[in-house]
Amino acid sequence: MGAEEEYLLVDPVTRQVSAESEKVVAEAAGELGDRVGTELTRYQVEVRTDPHTSLTEFAEQVRSTRATVARAATRQGLRIISSGTPILAQDTPPPLTAGRRYARSAAMFRALDEEQSVCACHIHVGVPDLATALQISNHLRPWIPALIALTGNSPYWAGRDTGYASWRTMSWGRWPVAGPPPYFESPTHFEDVTAGFIATGTVLDRGGLYWDIRPSHHVPTLEFRMADATATPGETVLLAGLIRAMTQTALQAITAREPAFQPRPEMLRAACWRAARDGLTGEGIDLHTGRLSPAIDQVEQLLAVLQPALHDHGDTDLIHTLWTGQRTHGNGADRQRAAHRKRGTVTDIVDHLTQPTPHTAAENA
């Protein structure tokens, strides 16, 4: 497993996003090499971990990588925040990073690119081939809403509370190929769908398949893309541990020839919307019953299903500690709102996100 994390650069005085990503990337590359790079806008920095089989070693690299980028930003007079969206208003259109692909994207998608200074956490899990990746995706699609609720960390946009735990999910959902992936019958089905999108100019290339779960187009992994940028390293570790256990559980079901549950596409989409709106504090759609149930209970149900796989990897205690901390203190969106409630000042949210000292069990992991 491995992770890609995206951060936003902010000015510590104005708390506005800063378009100095190239300077910070160049500064951090001295330690991280090609594991740090730019993103679509010049407000963003992207980092990547190495592949790991140990969740503990993965956790250490996530922490150290984030600390390295934070130090690089500080040397440039800036700070990083890990939030799914900028907190304060930004220039529209935002300054885009130079490059042929980004220029092509702006020409094709136009105003869609103007609100994409949003940040995500992508988890990759190694898979042997495309056929296996698609079968795993089929089995895990119904759990996408629970992971959206768990990782919601983007309630604010342009200085106001959107009322959503994950506004990034709503913003990203406007892309032509985004949200829950289809149920794929075979690799041929996948290739036919992909070829149709490329032939019609719906995506730039295979890298433009922005589904919440997709086979990676450049490494032999299945990529999970539904999560906002996580506020703390511990939340990235929690997400990665759950996704690896989900993947193993799906593989066992595939080996046993158990059919994948196929929720109605319209209900799966509705469940993702509800999860993005309410996060962990409200109710989500139970896709098996079509009724509402507490989002917390849905995550607990997921954990119960994953217990054998977590035990096999030796991750049970760490995942339990991380989840207990998050259940107690809320997800990133809950904590952003808590920071705002103290004085009713939006800039306090930025300050909360730049704090170097962790305060919860999830952050300490």
Residue 365, pLDDT > 50, answer no
pLDDT in tens, 255-286: 999 999 999 999 999 999 999 999 999 999 99
Q: Which of 108-117, 148-157, 196-205, 352-361 has the lowest mean pLDDT?
A: 352-361
CB neighbours (10 Å) of residue 23? 18
Nearest-angstrom CA–CA distance, 350 and 340: 10
56 — pLDDT class (breaks 50, 70, 90) = very high
Quote the pLDDT of residue 111. 83
Residue-wise pLDDT tens digits, 293-335: 999 999 999 999 999 999 999 999 999 999 999 999 999 999 9
Residues 6+ apart with CB under 8 A from 106: 96, 113
Q: What is residue 99's predicted lDDT score, i.e. its pLDDT?
A: 86
Tally the C-alpha atoms within 13 A of residue 309's C-alpha that lie toward its C-beta.
Answer: 18
Indicate the DSSP class of residue 182: P
Which residues, at least 6 apart from 144, have a Cβ–Cβ distance to it below 8 Å?
180, 212, 213, 226, 268, 271, 272
Per-residue pLDDT tens over the stretch 208-230: 999 999 999 889 999 999 999 99
- Give the integer Cα–Cα distance in Å for 216 and 358: 33
362 pLDDT band (50/70/90 cuts)?
very low
Instruction: Show the domains of the chain with their CATH numbers.
Output: 2-364 (3.30.590.20)
CA 236 to chain CA centroid, Å, is 9
- For residue range 149-192, list pLDDT tens digits in order: 999 999 999 999 999 999 999 999 999 999 999 999 999 999 99
Structure confidence at residue 361 (pLDDT):
40
Phi first, then psi: give them for residue 273, nearest 5 degrees. Answer: -60, -45
In percent, the amount of the chain with pLDDT more than 70 equals 97
| pLDDT confidence tier of residue 360, bands split at 50, 70 and 90 | very low
Residues in CB range of 226: below 8 A, 6 or more apart? 144, 147, 148, 151, 169, 212, 213, 272
Residues 6+ apart with CB under 8 A from 136: 127, 222, 247, 250, 251, 254
Identity of residue 73:
A
Whole-number pLDDT of residue 103 = 86
Share of the chain above pLDDT 90, in %: 88
147-172 b/e with 16+ CB inside 10 Å = b? bbbbbbbbbbbeeeebebbbbbbbbb
Report pLDDT for 96. 86
Task: Compute the radius of gyration of the chain from its Cα atoms.
Answer: 19
Residue 355: pLDDT band (50, 70, 90) is confident
Output the pLDDT for position 356: 63
- Lowest-confidence region among 100-104, 136-140, 315-319, 346-350: 100-104
Q: pLDDT value at position 93?
A: 84
Give residue for tokens 């009713």. Answer: 344
State the average pLDDT for the chain. 95
Render pLDDT for 57-77 as a digit per residue (tens, 0 to 9): 999 999 999 999 999 999 999
Q: Is the dihedral of CA 212, 215, 216, 222 positive or negative?
A: positive
CB 326 within 8 A of CB 150: yes
Give the CA angle between residues 311, 312, 313 to the nearest 5°: 90
Residues present in the chain in total = 365
The pTM (predicted TM-score) of the whole model is: 0.96
